[in-house]
Structure 1
Amino acid sequence: MAQDTADKDSKRSAFGPPAKQQQGRLFRIYNHYRVVISLMLLGLLLFDPFTTDSKFRWLEYYQAGVVTYLAINGFTALLLLAGFQPRQRHITLSILIDILVMHGLLLASTGITNGLANLVIISVAAGNILTPSRIGTFYAALAAICSLGISGWAVLAINETADDIVRAGSLGILYFAAAFVLQSISKRMIRSEALASSRARSIQELEQINQQIIQRMRTGILVLDRFGQIRLANAAAEELLFGVSADGEDLEPRARLLPKPLRQGLESWLKNPNMRIEPFQASSTSPLLQANFTQLDQERGDQILVFIEDMSKVTQQAQQMKLASLGRLTAGIAHEIRNPLGAISHAAQLMEESPSLDEGDLRMLDIIRRHSRRVNGIIENVLDLSRRRTANSELIDVGQWLREFRDDFVQTVNGETATTIELNISEQIPQARFDKSQIEQVMVNLCDNGLRYSKQQTGQNRIQLIAGATADGKRAYVDVRDFGPGISAEHRHSVFEPFFTTDKSGTGLGLYLARELCEANQAHLSLVDDGQPGCRFRITFAHPGRMI
């Protein structure tokens, strides 16, 4: 089917624009030949003057014909030089003029025995190359009729021998033979060229499709040289490595250096191609990435193909499996834990009412109550995590949503100390697509933590909410900044791990649950190091055009 389609395309385009361009080029070459022949004929007249008329029947007519032929060809050459594009009728007229002028010169000279008869064969051949159709056969027939006419007139009018008629017949056979052979060759050449053009267009279309597929792949693709210079990068690689969401229209490499972890991984891989590098982060706000290297040219090894995979997607799938198992586990043990936990809490309350307790017993009861609440909080968080519903995303105006969230959150905060929540919202913020209830749950967790740690450090319930756009201006982000003691460098990579906490009263599941909710909305929660005191957590939303 593919071959049949290509053949049909070649037949339809045999005389299309590519064939016409080729025809124009061939006609220019043929006209150069005509100009050279005209100059040679004129030169023979000027440098070899004839004192007798023995070689010509009508010398004056012959001279006038040569000069006229040179003038026609010279004028045509000037038109072509000026950019004139000859059409089919112009080419046909030129071939007809050549055939008639050549036979006129034969008639004015010594007849069909003159060497100019060989030039007629060239004109017929050129006509069949330039117009490989029925008109080419007409050129051969016209030339044959003219040759026979001249020979017949010479035999009848001036008593020439019948050998001229035989020669004219032989020339006629040559005319038709040249016409048929060249028509066949020219048609095959045109079909081959048209087929090649059709296949070249198909290859170009396939290349464009491949480029679009590569650009829209969520796996980042890089082509590097051995020195780490980027030769090609798709949109996913730009977004994952540099935080730039490309439009996917061009594959030109950008003037950027590889992130340091990726460059170090490339150097290690060049030393040991069997080595698999460790996952890395291109920046503090980017997700965890995994790079795989391979050589494009096995012999020279000049170019290196790099696949960049977002490990958060793999991690998310693994987390889904873990959560499913965790859900089944917690559903089975929650009842078994809560019943004795409730009995312990109730017994502690009853003991607290006893008037005979001393101060040491009261401290023990307080420990029992606090740790019972902590265990109950762990069970609640695990149950919420395992029962998480699918995100119901919608397109949100981030600035307006953040203002509404701030007003609602302030009303829910209880405490003796006044709460200060500062807003800093940029003017140009792209929209984001997420589930409001789930992201608001994340924001409540971050704001509660921020207010608590700010009060511990400064004595004030104060946080900042910041909204802006990424470097490419196509993705929104929201920051929650507190003024607490911050997180030490050795703990920064562990804050999102489950059950990790620096607060003795915490469960260690808050930030873990927050990141899971962000991942469910294709957002990324990260801890930003801006060199300022306190902590700054950032939610970077996905491109609004990406459907969840």
Structure 2
Amino acid sequence: MTGSTSPTGSAQALNLPGNWQQVKLFRIYNHYRLVVSLMLVGLLFIDPVAMEPRFRWQDYYQAGVVSYLALNAFIGMTLFAGFQPSQRHITLSILLDILIMHGLLISSTGITNGLANLVIISVAAGNILTPSRMGTFYAALAALCSLGISSWAVLVLDESGDDIVRAGSLGILYFAAAFILQNISRRMMRSEALASSRARSIAELEQINQQIIQRMRTGILVLDRTGQIRLANAAAEELLFGTPGAEDSGQVQNRVLPQPLKLGLEDWLKDPRKRVAPFQSASTSPLLQANFTQLDQEQGDLILVFVDDMSKVTQQAQQMKLASLGRLTAGIAHEIRNPLGAISHAAQLMEESPSLDEGDKRMLDIIRRHSRRVNGIIENVLELSRRKAANAELVDIPVWLQEFRRDFLQTQDDQSSPVRIDLVIDPDVPAARFDKSQIEQVLVNLCDNGLRYSQQQCGEKHIKLSAGTTEDGERAYLDVRDYGPGISKEHRSSVFEPFFTTDKSGTGLGLYLARELCESNQAHLSLVEDDQPGCCFRITFAPPGRMI
């Protein structure tokens, strides 16, 4: 494309973006021509006798008016049929208008006829539709035709020389209309180009903002005062409803606000200064914190809600705490293990003494157990500080879970108490993306705990592994259920905190490590609250398309 505005060599169609307004103006101009031609034909039937002595060639005039009507009707039908005119079609139409009008002038009463005023409109329309040098050519052609008709009438028909003066005046009007409308049209085109550029910039900014909002990990909701959801980003969908995000806005608006969040909204409406307490939208969802603000400060009809995952904040605080603890432990591990090793070695030597009584043996057993516990605490904290990044891969859940069950059973060589692991897998479980070694470490921890507590409760090492699909049909989950005494309600909110344990021999870091490993694989470990015996821990995996 070149920068020239001349239409002489242009066959470019006007149905391109940005020229639609020019096509619209041409359609309007053609409607005007059609109305004018209908009026001219109608005047032929009103008083045909009165115009006979005044017209030079009445037959030619009538034929020209009818032909002009037929031409405009044809162009109107083609436009109505969907024809998209190019620049040369518009140029040809303006030229034909100027020539036909002057033909009607020469066959009627000459330049003094009122039809001469219609030529001004044709020149003006040409300069609006093609604000370039071609518009000046229209004015020049119309001026030459008017002067030619007047000169011919004076020389051949001996008419008054005033017609030449009138023709000159019309020529001045033609050029004046051309220059004025060209200037106005250029300014309008520049204004339109600027408006279009700004509209594109606004649309691009809106699209960028939309993408940023959709990719944010903070959930964003727009509600009305009744709690009806107007808009929600993908993070809000995932945090509140367990789905990665609804593509249909109507589906989002049909969502029912979780009851804890709805109650929080009602409390905030009563007292906007009150901070809403953290809540869970479901038993397996993370702990959430909602913050409300009015979207429109003047009207206050819509409410903007920010939903944050409190587990992320808690996790960061715990990571900072354990990172410091890990560095401290790494620094003093050598100093602790040396005396700890000496204590353990001394206990082993004392066991070999033949003169030990039962009290001394109990003391030695206490020394051994607590030495192992101290060493386990050091190992777990050191493992936190040197944890590796997840090496994720796409995993077929049914195949992987069967392999894990087989390998895990092979490590259980206690023949006095056989291990029973039930495996239930839904047929349509989707694949998941995670680090197999890290998630297997989580499963080993959960299975060991489940087998131990099941044996304490019912005397049998028995657990059940269940794999299924979440309600949205896009994510897989894995349940580890034991048949032990379960976890009391007052302890359920603390089971994933570091160093929390109800077992005197435990370190309190197992479940915390398990959740940390799940979070590093974009999975979520939660305690399922139901009425079944024992307790159930659920690992909810991320959608398989999400990269880690």
Q: TM-score, normalised by structure 1?
A: 0.89
1:148 aligned onto 2:147: yes
- Letter of the aligned partner of 2:450 in structure 1? G
Aligned to 1:180, what secondary structure does the other structure show? helix
Deviations 1:153-183 (Å, cap 9, x if unpaired)?
A: 1111121121111111111111111112112
Equivalent residue for 1:4? Answer: none
1:541 aligned onto 2:529: no
Select between 82-91 and 153-162 the one with higher mean Cα deviation. Answer: 82-91
Structure-to-structure mapping, 1:497-536, within 5 angstroms: 497-536=497-536
1:322 aligned onto 2:313: no
Assess if the C-alpha contact under 8 Å between 1:486 and 1:534 holds in 2: yes
Structure-to-structure mapping, 1:245-256, within 5 angstroms: 245-246=244-245, 253-256=252-255
Structure-to-structure mapping, 1:104-253, within 5 angstroms: 104-246=103-245, 253=252
- Letter of the aligned partner of 2:498 in structure 1? P
Select between 112-121 and 473-482 the one with higher mean Cα deviation. Answer: 473-482
How many angstroms apart in 1 are the aligned matches of 2:265 and 2:536?
32
Q: Measured at CA, do residues 358 and 189 of structure 1 come closer, stay the same or move farther in structure 2, by a change above 3 Å?
A: same
Select between 235-244 and 92-101 the one with higher mean Cα deviation. Answer: 92-101
Structure 2, unmatched stretches of 5+, are 5-11
Deviations 1:10-59 (Å, cap 9, x if unpaired)?
A: xxx99772453222221222222222222322333322233574322222
Q: Measured at CA, do residues 162 and 464 of structure 1 come closer, stay the same or move farther in structure 2, by a change above 3 Å?
A: same
Assess if the C-alpha contact under 8 Å between 2:425 and 2:467 holds in 1: yes
When the two structures are aligned, how many residues end up with a matched partner? 538
1:513 CA displacement: 2.4
- Letter of the aligned partner of 2:501 in structure 1? T
Q: Measured at CA, do residues 453 and 44 of structure 1 come closer, stay the same or move farther in structure 2, by a change above 3 Å?
A: same
Assess if the C-alpha contact under 8 Å between 1:35 and 1:70 holds in 2: yes
Q: TM-score, normalised by structure 2?
A: 0.89
How many angstroms apart in 2 are the aligned matches of 1:403 and 1:531?
27
Aligned to 2:252, what secondary structure does the other structure show? coil
Equivalent residue for 1:433? Answer: 433
Identity across the alignment (%): 77
How many angstroms apart in 2 are the aligned matches of 1:401 and 1:484?
26
How many angstroms apart in 2 are the aligned matches of 1:38 and 1:393?
77
How many angstroms apart in 2 are the aligned matches of 1:300 and 1:52?
69
Structure-to-structure mapping, 1:348-427, within 5 angstroms: 366-367=365-366, 369-415=368-414, 416-427=416-427
- Letter of the aligned partner of 2:539 in structure 1? I
How many angstroms apart in 2 are the aligned matches of 1:58 and 1:528?
100
How many angstroms apart in 1 are the aligned matches of 2:369 and 2:428?
47
Taking only aligned residues, the RMSD between alpha carbons, in angstroms, comes to 2.9
Equivalent residue for 2:495? Answer: 495
Q: Measured at CA, do residues 493 and 52 of structure 1 come closer, stay the same or move farther in structure 2, by a change above 3 Å?
A: closer
Aligned to 2:153, what secondary structure does the other structure show? helix
Assess if the C-alpha contact under 8 Å between 2:525 and 2:538 holds in 1: yes
Equivalent residue for 1:450? Answer: 450
How many angstroms apart in 1 are the aligned matches of 2:398 and 2:352?
52
Structure-to-structure mapping, 1:46-61, within 5 angstroms: 46-51=45-50, 53-61=52-60
- Letter of the aligned partner of 1:309 in structure 2? D
How many angstroms apart in 1 are the aligned matches of 2:527 and 2:24?
67
- Letter of the aligned partner of 1:77 in structure 2? G
- Letter of the aligned partner of 1:221 in structure 2? I
How many angstroms apart in 2 are the aligned matches of 1:52 and 1:352?
140
Aligned to 2:323, what secondary structure does the other structure show? helix
1:467 CA displacement: 1.9
Select between 437-446 and 390-399 the one with higher mean Cα deviation. Answer: 390-399
1:276 aligned onto 2:251: no
- Letter of the aligned partner of 1:237 in structure 2? A
Aligned to 2:471, what secondary structure does the other structure show? coil
Aligned to 2:527, what secondary structure does the other structure show? strand
Assess if the C-alpha contact under 8 Å between 2:14 and 2:87 holds in 1: no
How many angstroms apart in 2 are the aligned matches of 1:277 and 1:206?
33
1:547 CA displacement: 4.0
Select between 317-326 and 48-57 the one with higher mean Cα deviation. Answer: 48-57
1:357 CA displacement: 6.1
Equivalent residue for 2:9? Answer: none
1:240 CA displacement: 1.3
Assess if the C-alpha contact under 8 Å between 2:292 and 2:303 holds in 1: yes
Assess if the C-alpha contact under 8 Å between 2:14 and 2:22 holds in 1: no
Equivalent residue for 2:291? Answer: 292
Select between 231-240 and 265-274 the one with higher mean Cα deviation. Answer: 265-274
Select between 472-481 and 381-390 the one with higher mean Cα deviation. Answer: 381-390
Equivalent residue for 1:90? Answer: 89
